[in-house]
Amino acid sequence: MRSTSYPHPERSGAQSKGARWRCIVLLALSALLVQPARAANERDVFTVAVPVDATATNANAARDAARSDGQRRAYQVLLDRLTLAADRGRLPQANDALLNELVSGFEVAKERVSGVRYLAEYTFHFRSDAVRRLLRDAGVPFAETRSKPVVVLAVSQADTGAVLWEEPNPWRDAWAKRPPRSGLVPLVVPYGDLEDLQAIDADGAQHGDVERLQAISQRYGGADILVSMAKLAIAADPHVLAVSSTRFSVASGIAPQQWDKSYTAAAGESDGDLLADGVTGTAQQLEDGWKAANMLDFRHTGTMSVRVPVEDLKGWIAIRDRLAGIPAIQRSDLIALGRGEARLAIHYYGDPEQLRLALAQRDLALTGSDPDWVLARRQAASSN
């Protein structure tokens, strides 16, 4: 099997004014509006990389066993990525026939072979339509909208005060040691360099200082911010870790989300392991909160007419491609094109707030209300 490639069509032609400019725009819009960028987005979400390691009577048997095991583990990683933990018991179990339907191809890297052992890194590409159909038939809700990156500000709280960048900060150290995961919410542990220190401190993070949160967000390309505050009670027996976390979407204007949870050390568990448990649990809360807000409900659909300020063809293409990568959007139709403005009909799944949240992840701002919705790139949104 080999993976399918979806090359983006070439775009060319000089921009001009008046009728010629409109002709160029209409020609650009006459192509499929959603397919090129949607294909790239789906390859990202529905692609899973896993290491494989198998031993058998010979190298060929080990290779076959490794690929089979890797395919099953990749299937589980993908379903964990798309669904909530509470729904995992209803997911279909993997078998060869099912995986043959779901996997469109794979790639192999870093192969190492001995007489009886095979090691490599496999990247499996799953058919998005087949996976969606599988989950819908099983009655399992799922999300596939990828969040913009989230910068983790890990604040350690103690009787002597709170620390963010200062040492020691065991809570920040625990986040830095967290193994990379391939969920829908990419997490970023900040550098802790001079620019970070100038952008925000522990006090600003604890109190949700909007101006300082915006500064650190801009530092990381408009990312969302997770302020995660932890207090380790070492006087308790066993030790208890209390964690309070809030996700701020300062660049998008989406309401904050908050989670609180306590973790109690198991018998013989070290403080380092307890902190690692807290990091894992907090990351899972963040993932599940994101999925719950972005579940694709195919039973509910809507159509929204929006005005799109358009200065030139390049600006329109940027908006078009951002729309194309949003799973909640079924399709977008051009209704009218005037000087400096286009009007679209957006056909979407779910409700308008879910659509607004999904658009924000692509730096698109949806403002206004029925019947006058306005869609613009985020940097231009404030003027509309």
For residue 358, give the CATH number of its domain. Answer: 3.30.70.100
In a domain, 39, yes or no: no
Distance between CA 72 and CA 148 in Å, rounded? 28
Contact 37, 321 (CB under 8 A): yes
> Could you tell me if 166 and 187 lie in one domain?
yes
What pLDDT sits at residue 19?
Answer: 47
CATH number for position 231: 3.40.50
Q: State the DSSP H helix or E strand holding residue 278, giving kind and residue range, or none if neither.
A: helix 271-293
Q: Which residue, of 230, 265, 293, is where some domain finishes? A: 293
Task: Domain of residue 253: give its range.
Answer: 150-293
26: in domain: no
Domain tally, the chain: 3
Q: Quick count: other Cβ atoms within 10 Å of Cβ 347? A: 14
User: Among residues 116, 137, 158, which one ends one of the domains?
Assistant: 137
242 belongs to a structural domain: yes
**Residue 329 and residue 266 share a domain:** no
- What pLDDT, on a 0 to 100 scale, did the predictor assign at position 41? 52
pTM above 0.95, yes or no: no
Residues 161 and 285 in one domain: yes
Q: Is 97 inside any structural domain?
A: yes
Backbone torsion region of residue 144, taken as left when φ is above 0, otherwise alpha when ψ lies between -120 and 50, otherwise beta = alpha
Q: Is residue 78 part of a domain?
A: yes
Q: Could you tell me if 301 and 280 lie in one domain? A: no
CA angle 77, 73, 138 (to 5 degrees): 60
pLDDT for residue 10: 35
Same domain, 270 and 188: yes
**How far is 222 from 254, CA to CA, in rounded Å?**
13
Give the H/E segment covering residue 35.
helix 35-45
Q: Which of 293, 323, 351 is the last residue of a domain?
A: 293
Domain with 125 in it: what CATH number? 3.10.28
Residue 144 lies in a domain: no
What span, in angstroms and rounded, lies between the C-alpha atoms of 8 and 17? 26
* Cβ atoms within 10 Å of 339's Cβ, excluding its own: 9
Q: Is 11 a member of any domain? A: no
3-state secondary structure of 328: coil
> Position of tokens 């919705």?
373
Q: Which CA distances in Å does 70 have to 45, 49, 67, 73, 321?
A: 17, 9, 5, 5, 33
C-alpha neighbours within 13 Å on the C-beta side of residue 52: 32
Question: Which tokens hold the place of 295?
Answer: 């579940």
382: number of Cβ within 10 Å: 9
Phi, then psi, of 4 in degrees rounded to 5 = -90, 140
Question: Does one domain contain both 162 and 257?
Answer: yes
**Within this chain, do residues 249 and 353 fall inside the same structural domain, yes or no?**
no
pLDDT at res. 5: 35
Identify whether residues 235 and 256 lie together within a single domain. yes
Q: Clarify whether residues 312 and 249 are in a common domain.
A: no
- Number of residues that this document lists for the chain: 384
Identify whether 25 is part of a domain: no
- pLDDT in the model for residue 324: 84
| DSSP annotation of 351 | -
Low-confidence stretches of the chain (pLDDT beneath 50): 1-21, 23-40, 380-384
Residues 289 and 301 occupy one common structural domain: no
Starting at the edge strand found earlier in the chain, the sheet holding 117-126 runs 47-55, 117-126, 103-113
DSSP classification of residue 36: H
With a CB cutoff of 8 Å and minimum separation 6, the contacts of 311 are 340
Burial of 130 (0-12, 13-18, 19+ CB in 10 A): middle
Percent of the chain with pLDDT over 90: 65
User: What pLDDT sits at residue 52?
Assistant: 98
SS percent in the chain: helix, strand, coil, step 5: 40, 30, 30
Statement to judge: residues 65 and 130 lie in one domain: yes
For residues 301 and 243, membership in a common domain is answered with: no
